[in-house]
Structure 1
Amino acid sequence: MAAIEVPGPEADWETAPEYQGGKRNPALQHSAWEIAGGSYRIVAGLQPPLGALAARLRLVVERTWEDLGCVDVAMFRIDRTDFALSQFEGGTPQYTTVWLDRASHDVEAAINTLLGGLGIGREALAFTGTTDTGFEHLNGWTGA
């Protein structure tokens, strides 16, 4: 059987993850998190770092990227509720974003389920809310 040679990229092509107007590269690459993230919505932020939260639940943290840069993500389920925790590399302010699957309607119950599983109280919340309702800073968190 003859080997098929695949040509290299064209010299003027951008890398697949970046978009620059009249993009010459026919591929626009998305990260796995960008695709999966569409099934979730932000509902809260936690003050503890992702590493400590993931260690508590023995989660595997995956490193991926999106247009804002590198992001660490752990996706999991507690009591039939799907969550994701994420934290941007070097992001300011530092907090862990709590994502809830869009199929879950009772956000407060979901947050309570997550906090219970993590063994922490509401004092660990930096903020709650959604992009639709707006966000409320909690527990003296200033975003710094």
Structure 2
Amino acid sequence: MAGDVDVPGPEPDWETAPEYQGGKHNPAFQQSAWEFAASSFHIVAGLQPPLDVLAARLRLSVERTWEDLGYVNVAMFRIKRTDFALSEFEGGHSPYTAVWVSRSSDNVEAALDILLGALGIGREALAFHGTTETGFEYRNGWTGG
């Protein structure tokens, strides 16, 4: 019977699961769903419009989650068999909306064109684009800082 098992509370010296655990007292280290999903994506661009405007255009739901740098708002979706994510840190940590594409996508430029077409905007909306492998090209006077 499921109600017959008492589960003890946490040990007094355990850190909370999502925190850095220098002492490694807690046997669990929690990741957010975004941190887990982000490992399947890579950042390919930054868009100047804010996430809420981009999400409204595609009627996407935005989820609030967290990662080591703080709270982040994320929308994950698929267009023409290409998986995308748009993310934006809360509190103005970054002046752009990050564009992520699935690591399984062979042609990042084509994927970016698909996204921009669906959003109804052109490349002038980019703050930067590229990959960590090829380097990033900055546009419109944005320098990455």
TM above 0.5, yes or no, is yes
Q: Deviations over 1:2-44 (max 9, x none)?
A: 5322111111110000122221011000111111111100000
Partners in 2 of 1:28 and 1:65 — Cα distance?
Answer: 14
| Partner secondary structure for residue 74 of structure 2 | strand
**Which residue identity does 2:74 align to in structure 1?**
V
**How far apart, in 2, do the equivalents of 1:115 and 1:37 lie?**
21
Unaligned runs of 5+ in 1: none
What aligned pairs does 1:1-40 form with structure 2 within 5 A after superposition? 1=1, 3-40=4-41
Dislocated runs of 4+, deviation >6 Å: none
Aligned position for 2:116:
115
Please say if residues 72 and 88 of structure 1, whose CA atoms lie closer than 8 Å, have aligned partners that are also in contact: yes
Contact 2:34 2:67 in 1 (8 A): yes
- The number of residue pairs the alignment matches comes to 144
What is the TM-score with the length of structure 1 in the denominator?
A: 0.94
8 Å contact kept, 2:88–2:94: no
* SS at structure 2 position matched to 1:87: strand
AA paired with 2:136?
Answer: F
Q: Is the 8 A contact 1:33 1:64 kept in 2?
A: yes
Q: Structure 1 counterpart of 2:133, which letter?
A: D
Query: What is the Cα deviation at residue 117 of structure 1?
Result: 0.2
Residues 38-117 of structure 1 mapped to structure 2, 5 A cutoff:
38-117=39-118
Percent of aligned positions with the same letter in both sequences?
74
Residue 92 of structure 1: CA displacement?
Answer: 2.8
Q: Conserved in 2, the CA contact under 8 Å of 1:93 and 1:143? A: no
Q: TM-score, normalised by structure 2?
A: 0.93
Matched to 1:122, the amino acid is R
1: CA distance between counterparts of 2:129 and 2:33? 25
Shift of 1:105: 1.2
Aligned equivalents of 2:50 and 2:97: distance in 1? Answer: 6
Distance 1:142 1:90 in 2: 20
What amino acid maps onto 2:8 in structure 1? P
What is the CA-CA distance between 1:57 and the residue it aligns to?
0.1
